[in-house]
Every structure is written in structure tokens, then in C-alpha cells.
Structure 1
Amino acid sequence: MEKFIVSARKYRPQAFDTVVGQEHITTTLRNAIKTGHLAHAFLFCGPRGVGKTTCARIFAKTINCQNQTAEGEACDTCSSCTSFNEGTSMNIHELDAASNNSVDDIRALVEQVRFAPQAGTYKVYIIDEVHMLSQAAFNAFLKTLEEPPSYAKFILATTEKHKILPTILSRCQIFDFKRITLQDTVDHLAGIAKKEDVRAEETGLQLIAQKSEGCMRDALSILDKIVSFTNGEVTYNNTLEHLNILDADYYFRLVDSMLEQDLAGALLLFDDINKKGFEGDSVLNGFAEFLRNLLICKDARVAGLLEVVESFRKRYADTAQKVDTGYLVSALNLLNEAEIGYRSARNKRLHVELALIKLCYLRQALQLTATGDTVDKKKVVEEARSLNFRALKGMTPEKTGKPAAAPVPRPSQEAKLVIETAPVPEAPGHPKPAPQPVAAPKPQAAAVAAAPPPPASKGRLSLDAIRQKVSADLMTNVVTDLPLDIERLQAGWKSFIEVLKEEKNPAWSSFDMAQLEVKDEASFEAIVTNNINQKFLLAERNKACSYLQQHLQNRLLQFFIVLNETETPIDLSDMPLTARDQFLKMAEQYPLVKELKDRLRLELDY
């Protein structure tokens, strides 16, 4: 049985023209080889699996080739190329900086650089994952990297360029590798599938390329797994099953349910998805990516950012025309918040279902109005309804034997006054309606209005009587504020201090030491002598003000905190003496002690 080799190694490019998706790099390197303008150090940086180490090996092989082609490629037939292909070349050294990142490893590398190549023209040192080197290793490598021997070439490869010291970057020619595009990945996978006699559908290969996110090594690994899983056949359905990807058809059906506000259909669809084994966070993330693709389809200028299976492009474009831009933006925001809170949710399924419920009724909650080039978002509320007034008991008409007259469409004068004076609450989300202009009264009506009001009938309450009654009630409920005086203020202040003591609040001592000074009938000052007391009073100021307003029956009462630091020097006579002061005092009383210290040349540690 032939030994199996993974596709990533079996089909690794051996020449510059076989490198996929990095034409800007390979063209530059081939031209440099043809003209002989070779730098002594190169830095290859970019995402994983895009060909950094592969290009470094091809470059090392080509510059040592004895029969280079006119295009700047290796011949693959000379002894140098043969030894390189067999892995026995002594001119190429690879170092994995992830596991050899100490100063000693770099010093050993520097020692090898001193020896010239026995065969060939150049000795090439490929240092992979160079960002893993320690700070000391980088510093030990600086001098050699700046002025190496003429036969030494260094190629550094990394996925994290920002972690490399600027002093290293300035000594290298930097080549930035880009992610491999979706179409380049599909074409390369199709070529390999043809060589391996694998039946592969283009939609399945597109799905693999989309999952690999521009990494060719990942795409080849996924292809190997699916070929083993399906026994040599790559289709759209078995690729979905193997990669555990939810079919986009579910998302299309989910959007249709939400646009129709079919909550039952959306919940049943999520239940079907849940039974297939997909977690809620993957559903939220996939649906957010789907809505992002719909948003991209709204503008033809960004159509190139849409990376989906080719057969779904038209369906994406048709669905995007049915959905408003504002709805997509609001839905993406809602899904983002739901995905952030998914991890902390105790009931994961309910958390996802709540997000679906909000999305189903999102169009009803938001009304999108386009104004020029922008989109305004407004909440939709019910139509403004007339306010129901409670009928007054005294204003009901008397019961008479005559039939009730037909209601007059024009309201009476009294009804007009009641409606105009009553405050109408403003509906949320609606501007306040403009007052309707009142038509000027006719001369006859004016004459009637100028006449004195008739006496109130037995069953009817006059408007003047209502006004007089309301005015009397207001007069009886008026609360007068008592003016502030020092005696009542000090009593209320002490009462508040007792409240603080009962609460075991340490601020009571600061309130007790404060001096009070009345400024006017509604304000006073609390004077403190240090910052600590000031901070305690500031912390309890609102509470004290509310208490004193109620206790002193003055709603306008307020007080100000004044810091008046005293300039009296602090008495330090009671403080204990330091060791130095004790010795000086002893030497002053007993001079022989100081003489003994001087004769013995003692150094005292105070």
C-alpha cells in the first residue's frame, strides 16, 4: 500500500509560477534573482497558510540553482536542486523560532554563519515564526543581520509583524503576503481534485474555500477530510454535513418568516435547526453574517465583498430587495447584543428564541422613513385618541317629560372652556398637536356673552361656582414657609446629629463640630475648619437638607459648607520625642555623654 501524504505537502509548490495568489511577491523575487539584486535579509509576513515558508524555500533553491531559467526559476535537474528536493542540501538551514527562541540558539546560528558554503553560492537561513524570539535573542541577532557575510542570506517568516522589533524591521526587505482569494482557492482545489480523480462539485469547493478564510493549507486539509469521509466525492450537501455548517436556505426561510411576522414559523424553524445539533450561538453568528451579506447586496459598489456560493448570489440579491436597509441595520445590532449575552444566559434556547421574537416584530416596532440620502428610525405608536372626560354629576340634564333634543354637533360654551383648560397628556413618540384656531364669535353671541349669567338652575352647577370652589380649596391647602432663625436651626441640627448617631454614621462628629451662621430666611452656612469635616458634610448634605426642610417647615431651605482653615500653629509639646531628639536632650543635660561619643567616634543610627 502506498504511503499517504497529505495534499498540503504533496502539492506544495516547487516553483514560483505554481504559488497561488501571491503574484506580487513571486514576480518581485524572480526579477531580483534575474538581475542579481539580492538583499541580505528578507521578512515574509502575512496570515497563516498563504505560502510564506514555501516562497522562502523556493527562493533558497533558486538562488543556488546552477542552471537557472530565463524566467528566474530553478531547473530542478542540477545537483543543488536535486539535493534540495531530497532534503540533503547543506546550504539551507531552517530554524523554528517557536521552540528555539533563546539567546544560545541564536548564538549557535551566528557561529554557523562564519563558515562559507562547501558547494553552491549562498547559505540561506530560514527562521520561521521569528516573532517568538526573546528580546535578548533579537539583540544578539542584530549585528549579524545588519552586516552578514556576502554568502549568507536570511529569510524571516512571521504571522505577527507587530511583535518584531523596529531595529529588525529596518534591516530587512519586507514582503506582505495577502489572503488567497475565494476564486483562486476554488481553482487550485479543482486542479488537485482532477489529479486525484475526485468528483468535486464547484459549490462544494466554494464552501470549502469560504470556510478556509483565505488559508490554502486549511482548504487542502478540509478537502482531504471530506474525500476520506465521502469516499472520493465532494458535493455541496456532504460538505455541509462534514463541516457542520447550517445551510443558507434556513436563513432565507427565517428572513421570510420575519418579514411576514410569522412567529410560529420562525420558532418551528429554529426547533428544526436545534434538532440538527447546532448551538444557539452558531445560529446567531450565522444569521448575523447572512444579514450582513444581504446588506452588502443593497449596493452594487460593495458587491465584491460578498463571498458566498455562486448559486446563491441571485437569491441573495432578490431577498435584499425585499428587506429595508434600516431593518437590516437594526437586526444586526439586535443579533450582536444577543450574541454577546448568550454566554451569560442560563436558558440558552430561550435566549435565542427571545431574539427571534424581537426580530419577528421588528418591522412593527420600527417605521423607516427615507429622508434624502439618510434613513430615519421612528417608533410606531397607536393613533392619538380623544381624551375621555368624566361627566360632572351636577351637569346632567334634568329629566323632563319632553323628549331629549338631538345633540348639537357644535359643543356648548361651557364644554369649550373645560376642554381648553384641561391639560391633554402628550402621546409618546408624537409631537404635541397644534391648537385649533377658534372662530370669532358672532355679534349676537358676543352680546349674549356680555350679559350677566343667569342664575343657576336647581339641577345645574354654574361655572363661576366651580371656579370659586376650586379657588377656596387652593387657598386652604397653601403651605407657608417659616423664616429661619438660629435657635430653631440649632435645634434641628442637633436633631439630625442624633439621627446620624442612631445610624452609627461617623459623620455625626463632623456635624457636631461645625459652626452655624444664618445668612437669610432660607439659607445658612456650616463652617468647618479642615478638609475631613468638609468631606463628611458634603457626603451627607442632601440628606441633611431634606431633613431640615421638613423639620424646620421651610421648603426653600438650603445651606452652604464653608472651609475656614485656622492658622493657629499645632501644639506639638505632647508628641513623643524621636531618638535624635532624645540624644540631643540627654547631651544637653549631661555633656559627658557627647564627649564620650566624640572620643569613641561613634556613628549613631537615629
Structure 2
Amino acid sequence: MEKFIVSARKYRPQTFDTVVGQQHITTTLKNAIRTGHLAHAFLFCGPRGVGKTTCARILAKTINCEALQPDGEACNECHSCKSFNDGASLNIHELDAASNNSVEDIRALVEQVRFAPQAGQYKVYIIDEVHMLSSAAFNAFLKTLEEPPPYAKFILATTEKHKILPTILSRCQIFDFKRITLQDTVDHLQGIAIKESITTDEAALQMIAQKSEGCMRDALSILDKIVSFTNSTVTYDNTIEHLNILDADYYFRLMDCMLTQDLAGAMLLFDDINKKGFEGDAVLNGFAEFVRNLLICKDDRVAGLLEVVESFRQRYREMAGRTEAGYLISTLNVLTEAEINFKTARNKRLHVELALIKLCYLHQALELSATDAGLDKKKTADARAVAFRNINPIAVKAITGGAPAAPKPQQAPAGEAKLIVETPRPQPVAAAPVPPPQPRTVAAPKPVAATAPPTAAPAATKPKLGSLAAMRQHVAMNTVTEEVAADVPLEPVSLRAAWERFIAQLESDKNPAAQSFKMAELIIRDESAFEATAANNLQQKFLELERGKCCEYLQKELGNRTVAFSVLVVESPDEEVAADLHLSAKQQYQIMIEKYPLIKELRERLRLDLEL
């Protein structure tokens, strides 16, 4: 049986031209070898698996090649190259600084540097993971690194350059290796698959490259595992199954549920994902990455940052066109916060479900917050009059035994304008019942002391003419007698019927404002204006949010182009509290027994006395 060698070792580059994704470094090294401008110390730094140690070995082999090629590559045919390929070269010494990081190890290395090479031109010392050396070892290495013998070359490799002493950095030529791009990784994996007779799918190779995060060694290791798992057939489905990656199709379906506010669909979809064995934090992390890709698709200038499977690119663009940038940013904030707090949550599943609930109703929350911040311009455009909140006088009849005192009007300070608004408390009067959905009552209008000033119609914009004669001619030619239908005055029955039809339209759109419209009472003030009452501030916000659409609908349904309404907050008398009146204990007791007679009976049975 042939001995198996992993792809990361079997297909390790042997020349500079076969190094993947590091052309800026290999070109510099070949030019330095060809011109003879070689430094005495090199520092290769960068992420793991991008070719630092490989380039160090190729450099060591090339500078000792006996038949160097014109392009600066090794010949791989001379005695020095063959001994290096067989691992028997005496001129190349590798030291693992992770396990040999003491001062004694560095001193032993310095002792070897004193001896000249027996064959070849240079002795090359490759120190891998050099950042693991202790401070004492670094200091023992400083002098030799600064002034080595002419035949000695040092190549240091590290993944954490910031841990190396500045005195070491200043003595080396520093080469920064970059992560291997997605396309370079796919091309390299495709070439290896052809050599090994492996059937591959491009989408699967793109998923492997994306999972490796720019590390070629990880990509080759993943390919070996999937080939063993699938018997030399690599497809997209078995790749995501083996790598335990959630398919992006789930995220597209989840985003559809968010945009349509389909909470039930989102919960069922998460339950399906949970049954497949994916943890909640993986779902949050993957969905956040999905939203980030959608945000990138909003601008063509950053389309190069989108690293996804090619077959999904068009779906990403279509989904990005259906969403707003502000909504995506708010979604990222919710997902990031949920992911941070996931570890401390006791019920992990409930924590993820709460995040999904927030995202399903995120559109509605953004609209309400925009309305509260004053960004809804329809409120000011459709309003006919300012809606004042009724403040009823404090009822003190139970205390004084007389009629409630009328509130005194507040005097405005000197120098300020006085505004007197007399708004009588509306008394609902039963009106004729209206068919579906339910019969309701419409309040009859009461006489109002001060009527709102009529709104002036905006002046029509006239074209600017050059002279008076031209203006007269223009008016004479374009004067057309048009008959405009008169506006139909408001009536309680027709108004309530149109109001109910608008409520049915809100319910069909699953608009939460429908409940507030159902609870509102309508009070007609004049032929084209009426008031809608709200029991609290929350209902008032929902009514204000949909007021513009409602006015347009009522104008068409009732045949009145000037129909408008204002929202009035009317709280129940039972909920009002006399906060400004300071009552004694006896007065408070009198109010309590008048409202709850059983308190008096309880006091008499228990023979309790009042502390007056």
C-alpha cells in the first residue's frame, strides 16, 4: 500500500513561481538573487499557512544552487538542489523557536555560525516562530544578527511581528505576507484536483476557500477531508454538510420572513435549523455575515468585498434591492448585541428567538421612532387644527358637599399674547347603528365657543408673462368655465361606514394601528372636519401615524376634498387623579368610602379608629 502524504506537503511549492498569491515577495527575492543584492537577515511575517516557511526554504535552496537560472530560479538538477530536496543538505539549518527558545539554544546556534560551509556558498539558518524566543535569547542573538560572517544568512519567520523586539526588527529586511485571495485559492485547488483525478464543483471549491480564510494549508487540509468523506467527488451539498455550514438559502428565507413580518415562519425556520444541530450563536453569526453582504451589495464600489459563492451573487443583489440601508444597519446592531449576550443567557434558544422577534417587527419600530423624532412630515401637512388635550376640573363634590368649582383661567404674563381655547368635553350620543363589522355610536357635535379659523387654499402658481397685453391674451385664450362638484357635508352614518372600511383595509394589511382606529370615537365639528378620540398616548401615536392615508381615503369615499380630522386624547374620568389637591386624612377616607362602601363596614367590624 502506497504511503499517503497530505496535499499540503505533497504539493508544497519548490520554486518561486509555484508560490501562490505572494508575487510581490517572490519577485523581489528573485531580483535580489539575480543581482547579488542579498541581505544578511530576512524577517518573513504574516498569517498562518500563506507560505512563509516555504519561501524561506526556496530562498535557501536557490542561493546555493550551482546552476542558477537566468530568471533567478533554482535548477533542481545540481548536487546542492538534489541534496536539499532529499533533506540531506548540510548548509541549511532549521530551528523551531517554539521548543528551542532558551539562551542555551541560541548560544549553540551562534557557535555553529563560526564554521564556514564545507560545500556551497552560504550557510542558511531558518528560525521558525521566532517570536517565541525569550528576551534573554533575543539579546544573546543581537550581535551575531547584526554582524554575521559573509557566508551566513538568517531567515526568521513569525506570525506575530509585534512580539519581536525593535532591535531585532531594525536588523532585518521585513517581508509582509498577505492572505491568499479567494480566486487564487480556488485556482490552486482546481489544479490539484485535476492532478489527483478528483471530481469537483466550483461552488464547493469557493466554499472551501471561503472557510480557509486565506490560509492555503487549511484549504488543502479541508479538501483532503472532503475527498475521503465523499470518495473523490466534491459537491456543494456534501461540502457544507461536512464543514457543518448552514446553507445561505436559509438566510434568504429568514430575511423574507423579516421583511414580511412573518413571525411564525421565522420561528418555524429557526426550529428547522435547530433540529439540524446548529447552535444559536452560529445562526446569529452567520445571519450577521449575511446582512453584512447585503449591505455591501447596496453599493457597486465595494462589490469586490463580497466573498460568496458565485451562484448566490445575483440573489444577494436582488435581496439588497428590496431592503433599505438603515434597516440593514439596525439589523446588524440587534444581531451583534444578541451574539455578545448569548454566552451569558441561561435559555439559549429563547435568547435567539427574542432576537428574531425584534427583527420581525424592526420595520414597525423604526417607523414609530421616526414619528416620535418628528420625521413624519405628513402630520404637519394634513393637520387642520392643533389638538389640545382636555383637562377636566377636579371633582371635590364629595368633600365640600357642593357643586364642583369651575377652574379659573390662567393669566398670561405681561407682554405675552393670550390664547383662550374653550374645548368642551365631548359627550357621545347614540347614533344609528352601522352594518359590519359591529354597530358603534357616533358622538353628536356640541356647540363650540370658539371656532377654528378657516384654512386658506394655496394660491395657484401663474406663469410669468412679459407684458399686460400678453397676460390679457393668455387669460382670454385659456379661460374655460369648469363646473366643480360641491363637497358633500359630513354625516355620522356615512362617516362611520367609511371609517369602518378603512379599518378593514388596515386589518388586511396586518397594520397594528387597526385596533386604535376601532377604539376611536368620531365627533363631527363642521361640514369637513371631525375629531377622533384616543384613550391614551399610544393610541394617539397610531392614529397620527396613519392619519394622512386615512384622510386621503375618506376624501375619495365621502366625495369631500377637504375632509380632515384631528386626534384628541380623552381619558376616562375614573382614571383621573387629583394630583394638585392636598387632602387631609379624613377627606381621603370620605372619598374612599364613597367609592368603596365596604371599607366603612370593614372598619366598623374591626372597630378601627382613624388617626386624624
Same fold (TM over 0.5): yes
CA contact (8 A) 1:364 1:380 kept: no
CA contact (8 A) 1:367 1:380 kept: no
What letter corresponds to residue 412 of structure 1 in structure 2?
Answer: V
| 1:304 CA drift (Å) | 0.7
| 1:14 CA drift (Å) | 0.1
Aligned residues: 418
Question: 2:232 and 2:377 mapped to 1: Cα distance?
Answer: 56
Partner residue of 1:35? 35
CA contact (8 A) 2:7 2:224 kept: yes
Partner residue of 2:112? 112
| 1:256 CA drift (Å) | 0.2
| 1:155 CA drift (Å) | 0.2
What letter corresponds to residue 350 of structure 2 in structure 1?
Answer: L
Partner residue of 2:347? 347
Residue 11, structure 1, aligned to residue 47, structure 2: no
| 1:389 CA drift (Å) | 6.7
| 1:367 CA drift (Å) | 2.5
| 1:426 CA drift (Å) | 7.6
| 1:387 CA drift (Å) | 4.7
Q: Per-residue displacement from partner, 1:331-369 (whole Å, max 9, x unpaired)?
A: 100001101111111110000000000000001110399
Partner residue of 2:81? 81
TM-score (norm 1): 0.65
CA contact (8 A) 2:123 2:152 kept: yes
Question: 2:281 and 2:425 mapped to 1: Cα distance?
Answer: 64
Partner residue of 1:90? 90
Question: 1:356 and 1:217 mapped to 2: Cα distance?
Answer: 37
Q: Superposition pairs for residues 564-579 of structure 1, below 5 Å?
A: none
Residue 413, structure 1, aligned to residue 443, structure 2: no
What letter corresponds to residue 320 of structure 2 in structure 1?
Answer: A
Question: 1:153 and 1:176 mapped to 2: Cα distance?
Answer: 19
Distance 1:326 1:20, change over 3 A: same
Distance 1:130 1:350, change over 3 A: same
What letter corresponds to residue 449 of structure 2 in structure 1?
Answer: Q
Question: 1:345 and 1:407 mapped to 2: Cα distance?
Answer: 52
CA contact (8 A) 1:45 1:159 kept: yes
Distance 1:148 1:9, change over 3 A: same
Question: 1:149 and 1:111 mapped to 2: Cα distance?
Answer: 12
Residue 232, structure 1, aligned to residue 268, structure 2: no
SS at match of 2:328: helix
Partner residue of 2:458? none
Q: Per-residue displacement from partner, 1:32-58 (whole Å, max 9, x unpaired)?
A: 000000000000000000000000000
Distance 1:357 1:146, change over 3 A: same
Question: 2:448 and 2:368 mapped to 1: Cα distance?
Answer: 42
Q: Superposition pairs for residues 79-158 of structure 1, below 5 Å?
A: 79-158=79-158
Residue 316, structure 1, aligned to residue 313, structure 2: no
Question: 2:247 and 2:447 mapped to 1: Cα distance?
Answer: 65
SS at match of 1:126: strand
Question: 2:189 and 2:102 mapped to 1: Cα distance?
Answer: 39
Partner residue of 1:211? 211
Partner residue of 1:523? none
| 1:249 CA drift (Å) | 0.1
Partner residue of 1:24? 24
Question: 2:449 and 2:168 mapped to 1: Cα distance?
Answer: 92
Distance 1:16 1:88, change over 3 A: same
Residue 69, structure 1, aligned to residue 105, structure 2: no
TM-score (norm 2): 0.64
Partner residue of 1:196? 196
SS at match of 1:125: strand
What letter corresponds to residue 7 of structure 1 in structure 2?
Answer: S
| 1:386 CA drift (Å) | 7.5
Unmatched runs of 5 consecutive residues or more in structure 1: 371-375, 398-405, 417-423, 434-472, 478-606
Distance 1:332 1:413, change over 3 A: same
Unmatched runs of 5 consecutive residues or more in structure 2: 396-402, 405-423, 427-441, 453-534, 545-579, 585-612
Partner residue of 1:458? none
Partner residue of 1:365? 365
| 1:288 CA drift (Å) | 0.3
| 1:96 CA drift (Å) | 0.2
Partner residue of 2:264? 264
CA contact (8 A) 1:368 1:378 kept: no
CA contact (8 A) 2:44 2:174 kept: yes
Distance 1:379 1:175, change over 3 A: farther
Distance 1:321 1:62, change over 3 A: same
What letter corresponds to residue 117 of structure 1 in structure 2?
Answer: P
Question: 1:476 and 1:162 mapped to 2: Cα distance?
Answer: 73
CA RMSD after TM alignment:
3.4
CA contact (8 A) 2:42 2:154 kept: yes
CA contact (8 A) 1:227 1:233 kept: yes
Question: 1:263 and 1:380 mapped to 2: Cα distance?
Answer: 30
Q: Per-residue displacement from partner, 1:504-552 (whole Å, max 9, x unpaired)?
A: xxxxxxxxxxxxxxxxxxxxxxxxxxxxxxxxxxxxxxxxxxxxxxxxx
Question: 2:71 and 2:181 mapped to 1: Cα distance?
Answer: 25
| 1:411 CA drift (Å) | 3.7
| 1:379 CA drift (Å) | 9.8
CA contact (8 A) 2:65 2:80 kept: yes
Question: 1:232 and 1:428 mapped to 2: Cα distance?
Answer: 64
SS at match of 1:44: strand
CA contact (8 A) 1:326 1:377 kept: no
Question: 1:17 and 1:357 mapped to 2: Cα distance?
Answer: 54
CA contact (8 A) 2:294 2:316 kept: yes
Distance 1:264 1:141, change over 3 A: same
Q: Per-residue displacement from partner, 1:148-185 (whole Å, max 9, x unpaired)?
A: 00000000000000000000000000000000000000
SS at match of 2:367: strand
Q: Per-residue displacement from partner, 1:279-316 (whole Å, max 9, x unpaired)?
A: 00000000000000000000111111110001101110
Greater Rg over alpha carbons, structure: 1
Partner residue of 2:560? none
| 1:412 CA drift (Å) | 2.9
Distance 1:380 1:236, change over 3 A: farther
Distance 1:249 1:328, change over 3 A: same
| 1:188 CA drift (Å) | 0.1
CA contact (8 A) 1:281 1:342 kept: yes
Partner residue of 2:55? 55
Partner residue of 1:564? none
Q: Per-residue displacement from partner, 1:407-445 (whole Å, max 9, x unpaired)?
A: 9857433999xxxxxxx9987998xx9xxxxxxxxxxxx
Partner residue of 1:164? 164
Q: Per-residue displacement from partner, 1:370-429 (whole Å, max 9, x unpaired)?
A: 9xxxxx9979999998756769999999xxxxxxxx99857433999xxxxxxx998799
Partner residue of 1:540? none
Distance 1:429 1:174, change over 3 A: farther
Q: Per-residue displacement from partner, 1:466-503 (whole Å, max 9, x unpaired)?
A: xxxxxxx98999xxxxxxxxxxxxxxxxxxxxxxxxxx
CA contact (8 A) 1:379 1:429 kept: no
SS at match of 1:366: helix
Question: 1:396 and 1:305 mapped to 2: Cα distance?
Answer: 62
Question: 2:226 and 2:280 mapped to 1: Cα distance?
Answer: 25
What letter corresponds to residue 313 of structure 1 in structure 2?
Answer: R
CA contact (8 A) 2:97 2:128 kept: yes
Question: 2:67 and 2:306 mapped to 1: Cα distance?
Answer: 45
What letter corresponds to residue 130 of structure 2 in structure 1?
Answer: V
Distance 1:475 1:323, change over 3 A: closer
CA contact (8 A) 1:261 1:360 kept: yes
Question: 1:89 and 1:389 mapped to 2: Cα distance?
Answer: 98
Partner residue of 1:174? 174
CA contact (8 A) 1:263 1:360 kept: yes
